[in-house]
Amino acid sequence: MKKSTVFFSGLLLVGCLSLHAQRIDADALQRIVSTVQDQVENLTPKVTPTASSQIKLGGFVRTDVIFASRQNQAGAEGLYTYYPLPKALDAEGRDINAASSANVLALTSRLTATYTGQTVSGIKTRAYVEADFGSNLIGNGAVFRLRQAYMELQWEHASLLLGQTWHPLSAAVIPVTLDLNTGSPVRPFNRSPQLRYKYALGAVSFTLAAVFQHSYLSAGPDGASSKYLRNSSLPDFVAGAEWQVTDQLAWGVMGETKALKPRLSTTGAAGTFKTDETIRTYTGQTWLQYVDGDFTMKAAALYAQNMNDAQMIGGYAVATRDILTGRETYTPTQHLNYWLMLQYGRQLKAGLYAGYLKSLGTLDPVNGEFFGRACNMDSMFRLAPRLYYNVGNLQLAGEVEWDHAVFGANQPGTKGDIVNTHDVDGVKVDVAVMFMF
């Protein structure tokens, strides 16, 4: 055989083998690509809109006519009442705060949007947004504000909520009142950003939450601010459990703890120094709820330390202060709070709210200023009967709220003792018309 023939035959063989190898490589590559695509599809959440997926818009228009017999510590131009102000005597001994007030407002008109129905890899989802024109509980004026905005992921026995909604201590059991305060300052009132996990095990459900601050703030040396909690680098931790004893009766317990860092530096006779001093406080609550047909009963008892961020009475105070460095330590106020709500009826509903709070002083002797709300209040009692009448989408309501409060002066060097007390009474009448849609 000629050499040229052998050469060209070998070249042809090499070419054929090369083409076959390229085909094998291409087929292998295609298989790899297909495998990766399958894995990506398996890992990618499958979003499945169901036939029931919907966005529901709602809300109400509400107008309140209010009258107060005495000047109150209040928010939203008098719609949210904390307590009647203590006596403030003029040069002739007359009480300046013994003066009435009246107002007509539609600030609490509300808009809501709820999305439900979509599932993500078998997980049910829900989103909710709620806003009104209520400004805030300190200032006045009709300002469009965010009340709630959260998403919720729901499994068969568990749920995870992310966003802004009621603080777990507030959401545990909420009484019905016409006043916006829903019973505070005897009970917590707070909506905050949070991460909240709930797990149901039969008739018992457990709640764990990490809560932060936005609109409802802790008091401190620079006034109300979220920075005291932020600078501690830790959230407000909450844990609780609820037992559905029967179809009508539920009982629950819940605990809360938070740490605040009031200052980053202190100044004394020797100069300015960095400080890492914090104050950690603890709060516990237990409650009952009974619903049977048209009758509803709700009740709760609360031991509270430094819960002014939840619109409650108290805060904390300076316990010690170093003269050279200015370094401070702190001690919390303590309060016992009890409340009861009764309601009966369907189209015509009659209800009653009663609440009582009592100062237990502070954990340690106080040798400086207080940071909080009405730390000189010794006790307070509230009684608020109400009537609601529903006609279709229209609701007519009326409530009389009577507050009796005892104020005094904080005695230095003691564990928050309140001396030289005096009593004040205030009555607020609220008549409201609401159209729901």
Query: How confident is the model over 168-194, as pLDDT tens digits?
Result: 999 999 999 999 999 999 999 999 999
User: Residue 387 falls within a domain, yes or no?
Assistant: yes
pLDDT at 297: 98
Predicted confidence (pLDDT) at residue 11 exceeds the cutoff of 50: no
pLDDT at 2: 46
Mean pLDDT for all residues in the chain: 90
Q: Which residue has the higher pLDDT, 4 or 172?
A: 172
User: Residue 25 falls within a domain, yes or no?
Assistant: no
User: Residue 13 falls within a domain, yes or no?
Assistant: no
pLDDT at 364: 98
The stretch 85-99 carries a mean pLDDT of 97
Predicted confidence (pLDDT) at residue 23 exceeds the cutoff of 70: no
Q: Residue for token digits 């023939």?
A: 5
User: Residue 100 falls within a domain, yes or no?
Assistant: yes
pLDDT at 122: 84
CATH code for the domain of 72: 2.40.160.10
pLDDT at 20: 47
Predicted confidence (pLDDT) at residue 45 exceeds the cutoff of 70: no
Predicted confidence (pLDDT) at residue 138 exceeds the cutoff of 70: no
Name which of 346, 347, 248 is nearest 289 in CA terms: 248
Provide the β-strand partners of residue 306.
none
Instruction: Kindly report which listed range (32-41, 61-70, 179-188, 357-366) carries the lowest average pLDDT score.
Output: 32-41
Say what the pTM is. 0.86
pLDDT at 98: 97
Question: What's the number of domains the chain is made of?
Answer: 1
pLDDT at 232: 97
Predicted confidence (pLDDT) at residue 32 exceeds the cutoff of 80: no
Query: How confident is the model over 64-80, as pLDDT tens digits?
Result: 999 999 999 999 899 99
pLDDT at 120: 82
User: Residue 39 falls within a domain, yes or no?
Assistant: no
pLDDT at 251: 98
- pLDDT bucket at 121, cuts 50 / 70 / 90: confident
Query: How confident is the model over 302-353, as pLDDT tens digits?
Result: 999 999 999 999 999 999 999 999 999 999 999 999 999 999 999 999 999 9
User: Residue 277 falls within a domain, yes or no?
Assistant: yes
User: Residue 296 falls within a domain, yes or no?
Assistant: yes
User: Residue 33 falls within a domain, yes or no?
Assistant: no
Per the structure, the complete domain to which residue 339 belongs is given by 47-436
The stretch 110-120 carries a mean pLDDT of 91
